[in-house]
Structure 1
Amino acid sequence: MTSVGGSGRRTVRWRRSAAGVSALAWLSGLGLVNPTAAHADPLIYPGMEIIQRPPGKESLSCTLGFVDPAARVGVTAGHCGGNGPVFTSDGARIGQLAVAQSNIKPEGPLSRDDYRIDYEGIAFDEGVPINNVLPNGLRLGVDPAVVPRDGLPVCRVGITTGEACGSIDGIGNGWFLVDGLPADHGDSGSAVYTVTSPGNAAIVGIVSARFTANQTHRESTVALSWPTVQQQIRNDIAAAGRPEVASPVAANPQAPAMVLPPAPSDDRPSGPARMVVP
């Protein structure tokens, strides 16, 4: 399985192309009061390109997944995160990292019982306009009744491969597989969604990586389950009240320390798929 976060700053595409809101409301209460943007306001929307600079690395280009206009927060993949500002592809600042967690390893096997988490919460700057409309015109929301299940028709819109549709083709521990055109570098963080009514879609997950089966070498997309991402956000924010516990979570220095519960891992040398993070 290969991470599909940006491997560096790019200006050219690689190829053509309720309960739900409560966790994000908690995220907006981290104590991050972002200043009014000092630039011409860009528009924030799910499916747009965002740029960050992880410590010690080149700038990474990923896709913004879910956006909550009321809470003024968004979610992308955790391995895309830096430790501060978030920018548009034109270099305009739109917000800052609030909290992120990713247990994606540089290389190793992936089995169905492996717990994977890979999210980043972003607090958007005051005054920057926000909507929740995907580039294809669908309004992206949360429906607690929509959960990952085998055979569910889904789509995604990434900055590299564009819009791609398929169906869920396997459920893991907090993650699922999507068949069809696999995600590529830069698509990380994009929302996996299902259409619920004309003009409306519900989020099902967040793109994290590309899956390659050992025997067939068939490639598909790995996405983190939206209910899992929500619960992990709740856990991490709630754990911020336990300063005696060391935190391995990436967090903005202006935010309270985020603390993770231990996550199970699997280091077996073989399995149904492999994960490689460039």
Structure 2
Amino acid sequence: MALGTIVWASPAQAAPPPMPGVSVDHGAGGCTAGFAAQGNDGSYYLMTSGHCDSHDGKEWTYGDAAPLGRISASEHEGEKRDAAIIRLDPSIGPPVGDVGGRYRVRDTLSRSQIQEGMPFCKIGAVTGETCGVVNGVQGDVVEASVYSLDGDSGSPGFVMNSDGTVSAVGLLMSSPEGDDYTTYFMLIHPLLNRWGLHILP
């Protein structure tokens, strides 16, 4: 009598909580999740770039196509403003606040606190962690000598602190045509009051 091989089905693994720096997608292209936040309404959010918003109300996913949520606010005005927030589905629970799962966010820097030459980093879904310096600030946009590629849009841009924490600065917007080593970030400090948010530590 031949003995068949018994294959036990493994239980479905729950997706790990989303965090700043992971890839997010809505079917028409991928971007990167920026800083995690909580709203005055108690909901949890992940920030990203406004140009990632296709304005079709589609659900966003992360990881292995795990449901994430939908964009609840966005703005995209050329090279001046470029930000959006994804309201997380309540079933997900709180996201991880640490950038890349390893850098705790201590605070958020305003425009006046950002100086030319300041060391600056980002964590993107495509190029990972890359660092450089701040080249300058114009309006709500920071220019930094940081490497990035398509798919890194929305990446959290930050300054490392001596205690190992980071200070949140901005969301990756774009790079000049043909220059992947210069990247623009939109400041998040003005967005927090406008959208009723605080960054998760």
Does structure 2 conserve the Cα–Cα contact (< 8 Å) formed by 1:205 and 1:225? yes
Structure 1 residue aligned with 2:127, among 161, 169, 177? 161
**Residue matched to 1:143:** 108
Distance in 1 separating the partners of 2:53 and 2:110: 29
Distance in 1 separating the partners of 2:171 and 2:85: 12
Matched, 1:68 2:31: no
**Residue matched to 1:84:** 58
Does structure 1 conserve the Cα–Cα contact (< 8 Å) formed by 2:110 and 2:189? no
Distance in 1 separating the partners of 2:21 and 2:37: 13
TM-score normalised by length of structure 2: 0.77
Measured on the aligned residues, the alpha-carbon RMSD in Å equals: 2.5
- CA shift for structure 1 position 174: 1.2
**Residue matched to 1:225:** 187
**Residue matched to 1:191:** 156
Distance in 2 separating the partners of 1:189 and 1:180: 14
Does structure 1 conserve the Cα–Cα contact (< 8 Å) formed by 2:20 and 2:101? no
Does structure 1 conserve the Cα–Cα contact (< 8 Å) formed by 2:110 and 2:169? no
Distance in 1 separating the partners of 2:59 and 2:101: 27
Which structure carries more strand by proportion?
2
1:85-100 pair list within 5 angstroms: 85-100=59-74
Distance in 1 separating the partners of 2:163 and 2:136: 27
Query: Any gaps of 5 or more consecutive residues in structure 1?
Result: 1-38, 54-58, 105-114, 235-278
The one-letter code sitting in structure 1 at the alignment partner of 2:23 is E
**Residue matched to 1:257:** none
TM-score normalised by length of structure 1: 0.57
The one-letter code sitting in structure 2 at the alignment partner of 1:174 is D
**Residue matched to 1:50:** 24
- CA shift for structure 1 position 231: 5.3
Query: Any gaps of 5 or more consecutive residues in structure 2?
Result: 1-12, 197-201
Structure 1 residue aligned with 2:81, among 117, 128, 147? 117
Greater relative contact order, per chain length (Cα 8 Å cut-off, separation 6+): 1
The one-letter code sitting in structure 1 at the alignment partner of 2:184 is V
The one-letter code sitting in structure 2 at the alignment partner of 1:143 is T
1:253-272 pair list within 5 angstroms: none
Q: Identity across aligned pairs (percent)?
A: 22
**Residue matched to 1:17:** none
Counterpart secondary structure, 1:164: strand
The one-letter code sitting in structure 2 at the alignment partner of 1:65 is G
Deviation track 1:175-216 (CA, whole Å, cap 9, x = no partner) reads 0210142x1100000011011243311111110001259xxx
The one-letter code sitting in structure 2 at the alignment partner of 1:221 is T
Distance in 2 separating the partners of 1:118 and 1:195: 23
The one-letter code sitting in structure 2 at the alignment partner of 1:185 is D
Deviation track 1:37-60 (CA, whole Å, cap 9, x = no partner) reads xx934311000110014xxxxx21
